[in-house]
Amino acid sequence: DGLHKDPKVEEYMAGAVRIGLYSDLYHFMRFSLIPAQMAGECSRTWERGISVAGAEPTKLHLDMEDSDTGQDMSPEQRVEWLQDVISRLEMPKGIYSGWGWWLGRMANSTVFSHLPLWTAGYPLGNLPMVDASGVAGHSPWLYGGWQGWDIWQFTSSGQVSGIAGRVDLNVAQEGVFNMPTEEQVKGWIAEAITKHETWKHSLGEDFREAVKGKIASKEWTPIMGPGGELKDIVDNNGNSV
C-alpha cells in the first residue's frame, strides 16, 4: 500500500507464473492519501506486477478496510473519495471488503456494485479449516448492492502445509481468473508444436493428441505472454518442456 509491502511479493508472483498460476494483486486503500496519491500507489503496484509476471494480472483488488484513517470523513465523503480514486485507474478493478466494515464506513453504498467483489465473511465462524470442503452449500453475507461474490475469504484461521501459523483461505467462483478457453489452448498447442518440431518424434505419430492430453491432464501448463501468445510450456515442477 506504499507503506507496507510484502517483501516476497515478487518471489511469489514469479513462482506463480513459472508454474502457470494466474495472479491477482490487491492494494490496501488509505483515506489519509488524497485520491491522486492513492491512484498513483495503485498504478505503481500494477506496474510492478506486470514487470514480475511478464503479463497483466487479471485485476487489482482495492482493499477497503481502513479503520485507522479517515475518521473525520463521513460515509458520503469516503464514497466520493473511492469514486475519485477509481476514476483515475485504467486497469481492471475489484473491491475487497467485509460486511461489517462496508455497512459502517460506507453506509452500505451500492455505488460500486458493478465491480467484482472479494468479500471476507465468516458466517460459519472463523474456524481453523484446512480446505474449502466445509463451505460447500454456504455463502457469505452480501451487502452494498452486490448480488453475488467472485471470491470469498471464509476464514483467517486456515491451515496450509508449509506455512506456520494461521492463514486466510478463499474460494473463487468458476471462471473468475479468466481461465483460458478450449480454443485458446488449441491455439497454444498448435503454436508450441510449430516451435518444437522434436515433439513429433518424442511423442510419436499422435503427437498433437499427446500434447493436448498432457495439458488437459495438467501435467504440462502453457504460459501466456502479455499479448496472449505462448511463452513456454512447463511441467509440474516448473521446468520448461
Q: What is the pLDDT of residues 86-104, one digit of tens each?
A: 999 999 899 999 999 999 9
Q: Which three cell numbers stand for residue 121?
A: 465473511
Question: Which pLDDT score is estimated for 55?
Answer: 67
User: What's the gap between Cα 9 and its chain centre?
Assistant: 13
Q: Which three cell numbers stand for residue 35?
A: 485520491
pLDDT at 32 over 80: yes
DSSP annotation of 228 reads S
Reported as a pLDDT band with limits 50, 70 and 90, residue 190 is: low
HSE (CB half, 13 Å, CA atoms) of 212? 11
**C-beta of residue 55 within 8 angstroms of C-beta of residue 223:** no
Q: How far is CA 32 from CA 86, 112, 119, in A?
A: 16, 21, 23
pLDDT digits (tens, 9 = 90+) for 144-162: 999 999 999 998 888 888 7
Reported as a pLDDT band with limits 50, 70 and 90, residue 61 is: very high
DSSP annotation of 115 reads S
Question: Which pLDDT score is estimated for 120?
Answer: 94
Question: Which pLDDT score is estimated for 13?
Answer: 80
**C-beta of residue 92 within 8 angstroms of C-beta of residue 106:** no
Question: Which pLDDT score is estimated for 218?
Answer: 66
Mean pLDDT of 64-75: 93
